[in-house]
Amino acid sequence: MDSKYGSWRNLNDPIISRSASRWWLDIQKACGIVTQGAWFDNFIEWVVGGGKKVKFWEDKWIGEESLCCKFPRLYLISDCKERVIEEVGHWEENVWVWDLTWRRLRLVWEVAMEEQLILLLNRHSLKIGISDTWKWKDNDNGVFSVKSAYNKLQGSSNEEENKEFKTLWSIRVAPKAQLLGWRLFLDKLPTKVKLAARGIQLQNNLCEMCLASEENAEHLFFSCRASQKVWNMCDRWIGVSSVHHVNARDNFQHFHLVNLNRRQNKIWQGMWLAIVGEIWKHRNGVIFKHRKVDPEEIFALAQASLYRSLLTKGPRQIINTIVHVDQSPSCQK
């Protein structure tokens, strides 16, 4: 596994090899790659023993991010890249001493950063003869369980708070659409504001869809001029006028039509997931492929996604649902 896939360190790699087996692809999808929030990686952490397994710079073993993210400038000039912790120091009379080496002499401000790094490292000591182990953050005993992972995917153990999540998982759409909605509910999508908070250096934090505000989830999906046009197109499509909440869970909860029954509204809420999914894909296209912002294209693709979902319900329900939606006199949002 190490030689073919790079072991567990590549589970969150957004670049998936074409030669990867179906088994490995399923594991990556379950854990969530970086561009999808990497939920699994956020709930595990290293407990360092002797430092034989954990990479000093690249793995997360101090705090919520790796040292290469906390000290990117020092990482660039480090001579210890890709080394495990035990290779970046030595024992002197049962006392661990760090041996940080550099490719060149440090600048004055880099020396100050090195001092900060040393202070941070000195708070952690290695343990002779103890193996490095994983800890599952969601259990007090640190042991992973399928039940705790499932509860995390559900979003909350509280019945009232879990209402939107239960509705979300009951909608008959592609699992990846539900997973994107779940990440949006928990504000776990890697927007620019989120990436900057993790220490990732960006050219700017502006929303690429409008270039007017910082890109956080609420802005991107509900406040951005381009996104608002898409939601307004949805209103015009069914002949309603509504207020759009900027909070994802509130917006989803109120995205229903008053003259549809509960089952039919679950189908209609698939349109919400379709719009959210197309906004996210369009945003990525604008950033990575330099596409032109086109709200009409987003809405058309969302409609197509909804119709594909309806095809699984049977012809009669397709007709009934579309007739109810198109003739709906009012809508609550």
Instruction: Give, for 169, the enclosing helix (H) or strand (E).
Output: helix 163-170
Looking at residue 225, what is its pLDDT? Answer: 95
Question: Do the domain assignments include residue 18?
Answer: no
Closest CA to 187 of 208, 210, 215: 215
Better-predicted residue by pLDDT, 302 or 199:
302
Looking at residue 329, what is its pLDDT? Answer: 42
What number is the average pLDDT over the span 10-23?
Answer: 62
Q: How confident is the model at residue 333 (pLDDT cuts 50, 70, 90)?
A: very low
Looking at residue 266, what is its pLDDT? Answer: 80
Give the tens place of pLDDT for each residue, 50-78.
999 899 998 888 887 889 988 999 999 99
- How many structural domains does the chain have? 2
- Cβ–Cβ under 8 Å, residues 34 and 189: no
Looking at residue 4, what is its pLDDT? Answer: 58
Question: Do the domain assignments include residue 85?
Answer: yes
In this model, does residue 280 exceed pLDDT 80? yes
Looking at residue 60, what is its pLDDT? Answer: 86
Same domain, 84 and 166: no
Same domain, 87 and 224: no
Better-predicted residue by pLDDT, 330 or 204:
204
Q: What is d(CA 141, CA 302) in angstroms, rounded to the nearest whole number?
A: 44
Non-local (6+) Cβ contacts of 173 within 8 A are: 270, 273, 274, 309
* Structural domain ending residue among the three candidates 107, 136, 165: 136
* Structural domain ending residue among the three candidates 136, 170, 202: 136
Non-local (6+) Cβ contacts of 32 within 8 A are: 12, 38, 39, 40, 41, 179, 183
Same domain, 180 and 291: yes
Q: What is d(CA 20, CA 138) in angstroms, rounded to the nearest whole number?
A: 30
In this model, does residue 282 exceed pLDDT 80? yes
Q: What is d(CA 325, CA 267) in angstroms, rounded to the nearest whole number?
A: 10
Residue type, 119: L
DSSP conformational letter for 214:
B
Q: What is the extent of the structural domain holding 183?
A: 155-332
Question: Do the domain assignments include residue 124?
Answer: yes
What number is the average pLDDT over the span 294-314?
Answer: 83
Same domain, 185 and 294: yes
Looking at residue 174, what is its pLDDT? Answer: 86
Residue type, 198: R
Same domain, 101 and 208: no
Same domain, 191 and 107: no
Give the tens place of pLDDT for each residue, 153-171.
665 444 445 678 888 888 8
Better-predicted residue by pLDDT, 160 or 98:
98
Same domain, 191 and 319: yes
Question: Do the domain assignments include residue 222?
Answer: yes
Least confident of 31-35, 77-81, 118-122, 292-296: 31-35
Place of tokens 């989830």: 217
Same domain, 242 and 310: yes
Better-predicted residue by pLDDT, 71 or 124:
71
In this model, does residue 257 exceed pLDDT 80? no
Question: Do the domain assignments include residue 90?
Answer: yes
* Structural domain ending residue among the three candidates 136, 170, 193: 136
- Cβ–Cβ under 8 Å, residues 53 and 131: yes
Q: How confident is the model at residue 315 (pLDDT cuts 50, 70, 90)?
A: very low
Q: How confident is the model at residue 331 (pLDDT cuts 50, 70, 90)?
A: very low
Better-predicted residue by pLDDT, 39 or 327:
39
Give the tens place of pLDDT for each residue, 177-217.
999 999 999 999 999 999 988 888 888 999 999 999 999 99
In this model, does residue 39 exceed pLDDT 60? yes
Same domain, 302 and 182: yes
Non-local (6+) Cβ contacts of 22 within 8 A are: none
Give the tens place of pLDDT for each residue, 219-243.
999 999 999 999 999 988 887 777 7
Looking at residue 320, what is its pLDDT? Answer: 54
Better-predicted residue by pLDDT, 100 or 28:
100
Same domain, 187 and 130: no
Question: Do the domain assignments include residue 242?
Answer: yes
Question: Do the domain assignments include residue 13?
Answer: no
Same domain, 274 and 184: yes
In this model, does residue 326 exceed pLDDT 70? no
Non-local (6+) Cβ contacts of 200 within 8 A are: 69
Same domain, 117 and 205: no
What number is the average pLDDT over the span 230-257?
Answer: 85
Looking at residue 18, what is its pLDDT? Answer: 61
Indicate the Cα dihedral angle 242, 168, 306, 289, nearest 10°: 90
Angle at CA of residue 268, ends 267 and 270, nearest 5°: 70
Q: How far is CA 151 from the centre of its chain?
A: 17
Residue type, 109: W
In this model, does residue 321 exceed pLDDT 60? no
Question: Do the domain assignments include residue 25?
Answer: no
